Amino acid sequence: MSEAGTMEQLQLGDHVCAFVDGTNDGLDLIARAVAAGLDAGDKVMVFTESLLPVAVLAGLEARGVAVAPAQRAGQVQVLPSPEVYLPAGRFEPARMLDSLTGHLEQAAADGHPGLRLVGDMPWASGEPAAADHMVAYEAQVNRLYMEGRALGVCLYDRRAFSRGLLQKVARAHPATLIEGAAADATPLLRIRRTSHPYGLRLIGEADFSNETALAAALDAVLDRQPDPVAPIVVDVEGLRFADASTAALLVRLTLRAPGGVHISGCHGTVAKALDRLGVTQLSKLHLTRACDGAGTEMVA
């Protein structure tokens, strides 16, 4: 399947949704994710419900992933999804985020460059309340991934969830693994937090398909801003496409940020989308246009 090539292109910082059809399809993707993580020297954690952990490990070995030595060394862990997501018998997003942060810190303490997480999500299909919390959680967990130290692959069986819910889930991820994509395909959108200057770097394409994820990332940047007086810098030079919903999110951030927003590398469809929303009326928005390798400062 073409997702194999896409899986190999994933980097720390990516958070992707993968729709699967049954346990064999899911196990194929888990094997590719684990193999890529081992090649990178990362710690890999698999949360499984469709299969018992012992069956996942056997399936990995059957697919040529020599996981036994890594498991003995603690580099690979396979845990039951309910044990991870529902430790108190219910799903608590804040508690789950704290748990993942702890796993990330432990992976770094153990000397791994990053942490790769593969989550099997059918536990959320049985109860509407859990499904609603799960969509909100998928959006909020982008705060963790955009730091560039962890990678997340979330497996959703198309047969277990409604189409409407799967669409909401997809929008909460910056990217979805697409069957039939080219072998060298990269995630549709990459979101990375930057420190100097403080803000975000957006790479790829931002549109309605990942709007919820981007909104959560922009909220996180505002919430964690170390110096409210300084502008938040959003580097969009790596964006190939942005739609009106993306421009609206950037405008909303500008209106909320005390020090305003500096959009760096504005060009092409990004510039057009902002122009159509009348950004020239916003005194707190500064644009730097990408032009022949040199930026031209435009104060809107």
CA dist 115 and 14 (Å) reads: 11
Instruction: Give the strand pairing for 150-157 and 15-20.
Output: parallel
CA dist 156 and 300 (Å) reads: 43
Q: What angle do CA 158, 91, 140 make, to 5 degrees?
A: 75
> Is there a contact between 286 and 260 (Cβ–Cβ < 8 Å)?
yes
At 9, the pLDDT band (50, 70, 90 cuts) reads: confident
User: pLDDT tens for residues 277-291?
Assistant: 766 567 788 888 774
CA dist 44 and 42 (Å) reads: 6
User: pLDDT tens for residues 235-273?
Assistant: 999 999 999 899 899 989 999 999 999 999 988 878 888
Class for the domain spanning 15-178? alpha beta
Question: What separation, in Å, do the N-terminal and C-terminal C-alpha atoms of the chain show?
Answer: 47
> Is there a contact between 100 and 144 (Cβ–Cβ < 8 Å)?
yes
- Cα 218 to Cα 111, 237, 270, distances in angstroms: 30, 17, 16
What the block records as the tokens of 64 is 């040529």
At 181, the pLDDT band (50, 70, 90 cuts) reads: low
**pTM for this one?**
0.90
Report the pLDDT value the prediction gives residue 170, as an integer from 0 to 100. Answer: 95
Instruction: Delimit the domains of the chain by residue range.
Output: 15-178, 189-289
User: pLDDT tens for residues 205-230?
Assistant: 999 999 999 999 999 999 999 999 99
Across the chain, what does the average pLDDT equal? 88
Class for the domain spanning 189-289? alpha beta
